[in-house]
Amino acid sequence: MADDKPIEIVPAPTKGTELSAAENALIEKLTGGSGRKYVRFVLAALGSIPWVGGVLGAAAALSGEHEQGKINELQKLWLQEHKEKIHELGQTLQDILTRLDGFGEEVRDRIESPAYLALVRRTFRSWDEADTQEKKQMLKKLITNAGAITLCPDDLVRLFVSWIDQYHEAHFLVVRHVYRNPGVTRGEIWDAIHPRRPREDSAEADLFKYLIRDLTLGGVMRQERETNAQGQFVRRPTQGARRSPSSGVMESAFEDTKPYELTQLGGQFVHYVMEDVVPQLGQAQQ
């Protein structure tokens, strides 16, 4: 009887380690042959996705145990269920490897380093668990760009992965609009995304306040602040007795006088996950 246990995929082989036939075949299938140049990257990615080993084990058992018809039929159904996932994984790996190849040989040390491979494992775990294509595309851009630029340390790249896990697509709509329109107000953000303004006591207004609060407390965006020559934030002068009389109602969710901007950290996040223009390793964007 053949062993039904899934074939284990090691995260990254050391020099001199031979890959198994199953690992070689999977890399060839998923990357169209281009993965041999980036074998450490590919194995780090595959080793972080739990079901990949199961696919290999099921495929091996399916071809080796003809007498177990019922088990084989279940395996066929299971493999069919994962067919599209295999295709999507392969396309993602091919896209990333093509992009990495375009950066030149100077990024080779970076993408084979233990620190970067740890980012690959962390990113592909989140990629596999992401429930939308938008998040998967953002993670793909993040790990690709993290291989070629050093705008921020790897600890912050891991933070960016956590942001993608944590935030909803509605958060990212707000981030994009603030990035493209620094100084925009909450009311202008809403008007750019929605056709009309709802009541202040509506669920829509509550959700919008929640999005703004999340991104502000999370350090992604803030109200615009004046700084001095040393980069210190300057206190706003109090209006004192000249303060306008209260209107008797609380501030609107769609307030139209206070401008917002991304923090420096939020700007780096956009560069890593929402842009395709990437400088070479070691260069910083201005």
Domain of 264, CATH number, reads: 1.10.10
Residue owning tokens 């959700």: 207
Whether 183 and 266 map to the same domain: the answer is: yes
| 245, 246, 247, 251: CA torsion to nearest 10 | 130
82 within some domain = yes
Query: Within the chain, which residues score under 50 in pLDDT?
Result: 1-17, 67, 241, 277-286
Q: How many domains does the chain have?
A: 2
Report whether 130 contacts 139 (CB < 8 A): yes
The pLDDT assigned to 44 comes to: 92
d(CA 165, CA 34): 29
Token pair, residue 221, equals 């965006």
Whether 166 and 75 map to the same domain: the answer is: no
- CA-wise closest residue to 48 among 138, 135, 143, 131: 143
Domain extent, residue 267, equals 130-233+249-286
28 within some domain = yes
Token pair, residue 42, equals 């590919």
Task: Please provide the average confidence, as pLDDT, over all residues in the chain.
Answer: 80
- Residues 6 or more apart whose CB falls under 8 angstroms from that of 189 comprise 174, 177, 178, 212, 260
Whether 149 and 15 map to the same domain: the answer is: no
d(CA 61, CA 84): 20
The pLDDT assigned to 243 comes to: 57
Tens digit of pLDDT for each residue in 68-92?
Answer: 555 556 556 666 666 788 889 989 9
